[in-house]
Amino acid sequence: MRTLIDAHVANQQPTLTTERLTLRPFKADDAFDVERLAGMREIADTTLNIPHPYPHGGAASWIRLHGPAWENGTSATFAIVGRKTGALVGAISLMIKREHRRAELGYWIALDCWNRGYATEASQRLVDFGFEVLGLHRIEARHFLRNPASGRVMEKVGMQPEGVERDWVIKWDRYESLARYSILEPEWRAARLRQRE
């Protein structure tokens, strides 16, 4: 089966839509908003790799990595923006391991947009894209054990809990345990069929 992930046929990263959101490639002029929104301590506190304070110029450097990563098939990172407003509300990505046809889902949502269902809506769209277009077999995600809201997002998109990686990482001088979730393509396909019935 030839898929985008195997064939490298797409030169341009697509734009994806949901009912309320647009998932599009980041642009250079998004850097200011990324630093402002992702730089909030509450965002950094719930994510593994976002620093606090966010370094000036760090977002521009991060955005420049996206195009080459898409082209070489190692990640697909999207800005999450409101369809009506065009305002940045977060980021979402698949970190891809092509040789294993799997990817890790990661995201952050701006603090003033929490509890609106945006993480679930964007995650479902990217999971669909990963299986339908990229030809993935497995999509996984992890969250800090002390952040159960992220686990609820993973469950809502059909992921199953796999276990806990105890004291897996150090974040801000303390050990953090991570809960791991995953969904396989046959599980995703079966859920889609049930939704259509």
- Using one digit for the tens of pLDDT, what is the confidence trace for 51-109? 999 999 999 999 999 999 999 999 999 999 999 999 999 999 999 999 999 999 999 99
The per-residue pLDDT for 10 is: 53
Q: The whole model's pTM is what? A: 0.93
- DSSP bridge pairs for 132: none
Name 64's Cβ contacts closer than 8 Å, sequence gap at least 6.
28
Residues spanned by the domain of 169:
4-196
* CATH code of the domain in which 18 resides: 3.40.630.30
Are the C-beta atoms of residues 46 and 108 closer than 8 Å to each other?
Answer: yes
Mean pLDDT for all residues in the chain: 94
Give how far Cα 26 sits from Cα of 34, 57, 85, 140, 178, Å: 10, 15, 16, 23, 28
Alpha helices in the chain (DSSP H): 4-7, 31-38, 41-45, 58-71, 118-132, 148-156, 185-196
Task: Give the pair of three-digit tokens for residue 85.
Answer: 């407003």
Residue labelled with tokens 């396909």 = 189
Element (H, E) at 23: strand 21-24
Q: Domains in the chain: how many in total?
A: 1
Summarize the confidence of residues 101-122 as an average pLDDT. Answer: 98
Grouping H, G, I as helix, E, B as strand and the rest as coil, residue 152 is helix
Q: How many CA atoms lie within 13 A of 163 on its CB side?
A: 4
